[in-house]
Amino acid sequence: LFGQQFRRNWRRELQLVRLVACGASNPRIARQLAVADKTVRNQLSALLVKVGAADRVQLALLARDAGIA
């Protein structure tokens, strides 16, 4: 189910999840995606709610279990 949710999401969300799963900080993610740090925080918060993850660690674990990261 989790993997299916990710596969339906936008490419940017997948990039964000993969970077979080690799342990990247928000500033590093912002640099890699060429967006503001605030944008990363906003997108990450929305993504956590969307997939029902409590925090970025749980998001990374869910992504790993789904074969996303």
| Six-digit token string for 39 | 């944008």
| Distance, CA of 31 to CA of 59 (rounded, Å) | 21
Q: What is the pTM of this model?
A: 0.81
Contact 59, 48 (CB under 8 A): yes
Contact 53, 5 (CB under 8 A): no
Q: Which pLDDT value is given to residue 10?
A: 73
pLDDT tens track, the chain, 69 positions: 566 655 655 788 889 999 999 999 999 999 999 999 999 999 999 999 989 999 999 999 999 998 987
Secondary structure letter of residue 54 according to DSSP: S
Q: Which pLDDT value is given to residue 2?
A: 61
Q: Which pLDDT value is given to residue 34?
A: 93
| Distance, CA of 9 to CA of 26 (rounded, Å) | 20
